[in-house]
Chains A and B, each alone.
Chain A
């Protein structure tokens, strides 16, 4: 069972559909207990980081996510679900986030069209199971106005160019997070979910 965290912000349907399409059972969860007891957790994200943090705090999901990640268990963060893992964000002033990964979330420099919206390439900086079967520089769908900057450069698994090169995939043990939306990125995106879940469940072969 794949737990998809619902903190009341929005559309989980596409993430649920993607996981189901791959032949796995997706369960939308909204309590700390369900997160702690899950085998695999996905934190999707739309909207603003500050709202997301407020929602996670209100329900106690913030502590559950921190504990789950600290135990080194399989976790995938998507878009805002990636950003909130960092120490804090510049979005709407300065807001503290979960602090699971040292680093900050920064705004793109003026002069660029923001949001960074559309398909852009991910340059694979390290060999990682999340990229299995995905060509280097494959295109993924992005929509965001802020980007993450990990303090530890070795956590940058994928990089994308928009005015500057920014970190579009982080990987740290069993934790993976993507700035793009795999559930909106066609077959390459489905492959990301498939790779993540397959490794997380320790299965030998993919289901597709």
Chain B
């Protein structure tokens, strides 16, 4: 049976791992290569790296980081942040990334999703969606934001998710901006709405504070994978703690050594 993936996320700025709260207030959380190796040995199922510098210099640093990580860890790697062209994507894939994640650029230039999927295969193309709950109205809805959560787009998150899959995205990395960094649980309503609307895997992100939050994202949110940062970076929970908790509750997970 396909297991549910537990994915630590590393935000990288200038070659260092950082973590903020609701996209601001960054704190240093270590060397990316060391962290990647640590999570590999701990039994993480996959790693996501987001380059939050996203400048040309930052991207060079990131290519180097990805190369060094892929020399060391034999697990799937997704890299995102500031990838604007097929050339940018190809560079990351050649450096050792298995998938590239695009967010702002997907909104500005949806053709990039299609072109990327045609060039590298859908399985390589992850579209990251940052969504914020829209207050008021009878039915819950969420709006897509770009530019690291700075710019509202007017796009409905569920509709946008369907659209990116049509264009060729092979996976959706869905972050609730309301929940991100607060460690009070994922927005399971959002995750479920998107997961039920698309035929590709959905990674729930934003809000993990403890094992029960990940459990709920998988059960209530119907996520295929769950992503977390803070709870792993600061050692609040180990990957194994989380997996044991989930396994005890009947969620299929890959345990260490199996």
Chain A residues with a Cβ under 8 A of chain B? 10-11, 13-14, 17-18, 21, 46-48, 113-121, 135, 137-139, 141-145, 161-162, 181, 183-187, 189-190
Contact = CB atoms under 8 A, between A and B. Distances in A.
B74 A14 contact: yes
B45 interface: yes
B98 to A, nearest CB: 7
Interface of B: 1-5, 40, 45-46, 67, 70-71, 74-76, 93-98, 120-124, 170-171, 199-201, 224-225, 254, 257-258
B224 A113 contact: yes
A139 B254 contact: yes
Contacts of A144: 123
B96 A115 contact: no
Contacts of A190: 74
Given A17-B70, A115-B201, A118-B225, A10 B1 contact: no
Contact of B98 (A11, A18, A135, A137): A11
Given A115-B170, A144-B123, A161 B1 contact: yes
In the A-B complex, the 5 residue pairs with the smallest Cβ-Cβ separation, listed nearest first, are A47-B121, A139-B254, A119-B254, A13-B96, A143-B123
A118 B3 contact: yes
B201 A11 contact: no
B120 A141 contact: no
Contacts of A114: 199-200
A47 B120 contact: yes
Given A113-B199, A113-B200, A138-B258, A118 B121 contact: no
